[in-house]
Amino acid sequence: MFSNVPLSGTLPSIPAKAHAHRALIAAALATSSSTIVISHSSKDIDATMDSLRALGATITYNNGVAHVTPGPVPTIGQVLSPTNQAQHCDYSYQYPLLFVTL
């Protein structure tokens, strides 16, 4: 049975994932370490972190906080060779998305 009464309550939702991706990529390209609060993670965000790790960044993520230390800066003409961590990336489409974003 339905009643004509106002509804109330709360519904948790994650912030725009695109912001987390951009913050992680910017932090991986920075000249010094960064700390980013990512209140809710997802498989996509985890895949972005894995992709950045494979490209040389050091990223730890615990309790909603990501600590990002950029990897070595590539030289002009250098071909980026992902580390063997790339095999742990969950989504094969993440690398092309990462480079399109850059």
Say what the pTM is.
0.67
> For the segment 47-102, what is each residue's pLDDT rounded down to a tens digit?
899 889 988 899 999 999 999 999 887 777 776 665 544 444 555 444 555 554 44
Q: What is the pLDDT of residue 54?
A: 85
Going by C-alpha positions, the residue among 44, 54, 30 that lies closest to residue 97 is 44
How is residue 60 written in tokens?
A: 């730890």
Q: What is the pLDDT of residue 70?
A: 94
